[in-house]
Amino acid sequence: MQIVFLDAKTMGDIPNLKRVEEFGKLTIYQTSTSEQVLERVKGFDVAIANKVKIKKEVMKQCPELKLICVAATGTDNIDIQFAKEKGILVKNAKDYSTHSVAQLTFTLILGLLCQLRYYDDFVKEGQYSQSDIFTSTDRPFWQLFGKEIGIIGLGNIGRQVAQIAEGFGMKIIYYSSSGQNRHPAYPRLELEELLKTSDIVSIHSPLNEKTKNLITYKQLKLMKPSALLINTSRGGIVKEADLAKAIDEELIRGAGVDAYEKEPLPANHPYLSVKNKDNLLLTPHMAWTSIEARTLLMNIVYDNIKNFVETGE
């Protein structure tokens, strides 16, 4: 078989990147622009892509293409319906980054709550060395114990976040936009009530017609002034200009964000001009990228190709 990986740079340096060579010749491109996709997929049996879009215009002109492996969970970069019509299988990867995303969720929470950016500078810039006490209480921070976390989306990642929160002694409530995910141990609230009562709101829902702009200025106004909003899911769930406005107006204490509606982040994005910078912690869509998660992801891609070779499915 002829196999092409269109954007291997997204996987970084992992030990099993070339494992799929077992099934045929592997051609690797670090990145691919939309203009390059057609010429790079043509003649190949299998295409692997993480972020690169494979549209119907490409599939129309690639009769040899039999399998598209999405090196991610979301398949919105593939024209799924057209692939089905053409008999091209599309396989994604699930549950490879659950622990990784949950970990970064709490990294953002703790970074904001404990004022880590401020206190790291406080020590490194010499202010602590000049202090007449053995500590600093310039910026108050809060413990998680006893606080309430409202989880939007109680799938695998949401449940893992809940489990970690239990370890901190937090109270857990949740909202399910689909109404399908239920957990007998946690109270299920409607969105408005969850926003009003939570000390921390953490988003773990997929982006769809029900969750697009789920959190706007109207919803942010419902939250406690002391509350944090964390989004390690999808950027389009939060109306980004509204969140930037809410932070500068101090409607909420702060926010931690790892996913954006347009990626990479445009230079004129409202998050980049927020005045209360210490109240907004941003990371570059990296929650899924622990070494372990990326290695597991590539193993899932391998299994998808192996299953296709052995069964045609």
- Which band of pLDDT confidence, cut at 50, 70 and 90, is reported for residue 312? confident
Q: What is the mean pLDDT of residues 282-311?
A: 97
Answer for the pair 69, 19: CB distance below 8 angstroms, yes or no: no
Name the percent of the chain lying above pLDDT 70: 100
Task: Show the tokens assigned to 7.
Answer: 């954007």
Among residues 204, 210, 211, which one has the least CA distance to residue 183?
A: 204
Residues carrying an active site annotation: 234, 263, 285
Q: pLDDT for 165-177, tens place per residue?
A: 999 999 999 999 8
**Confidence at residue 249, expressed as pLDDT on a 0 to 100 scale:** 98
Which H helix or E strand runs over 220? helix 217-220
**Confidence at residue 96, expressed as pLDDT on a 0 to 100 scale:** 97
**Confidence at residue 177, expressed as pLDDT on a 0 to 100 scale:** 85
Q: Is the pLDDT at 115 greater than 70, yes or no?
A: yes
Residue ranges of domains in the chain, CATH in brackets: 2-94+291-311 (3.40.50.720), 98-282 (3.40.50.720)
Q: Is the pLDDT at 128 greater than 70, yes or no?
A: yes
Q: What is the mean pLDDT of residues 240-262?
A: 97
pTM: 0.93
| Residues contacting 117, CB < 8 A, separation 6+ | 111, 278, 281
200-203 sheet: strands from edge to edge? 171-175, 148-152, 200-203, 228-231, 254-257, 280-282
Answer for the pair 298, 16: CB distance below 8 angstroms, yes or no: yes
**Confidence at residue 181, expressed as pLDDT on a 0 to 100 scale:** 67
Beta strands in the chain (DSSP E): 2-5, 25-28, 46-49, 67-70, 89-91, 148-152, 171-175, 200-203, 228-231, 254-257, 280-282
Q: Is the pLDDT at 251 greater than 90, yes or no?
A: yes
Q: pLDDT for 7-62, tens place per residue?
A: 999 999 999 999 999 999 999 999 999 999 999 999 999 999 999 999 999 999 99
Q: pLDDT for 179-217, tens place per residue?
A: 776 788 899 999 999 999 999 999 999 989 999 999 999
Burial label, 268 (beta-carbon count in 10 A; 0-12, 13-18, 19+): exposed
Answer for the pair 95, 156: CB distance below 8 angstroms, yes or no: yes
> Nearest 5°: phi and psi at 215?
-110, 110
Q: What is the mean pLDDT of residues 262-277?
A: 96
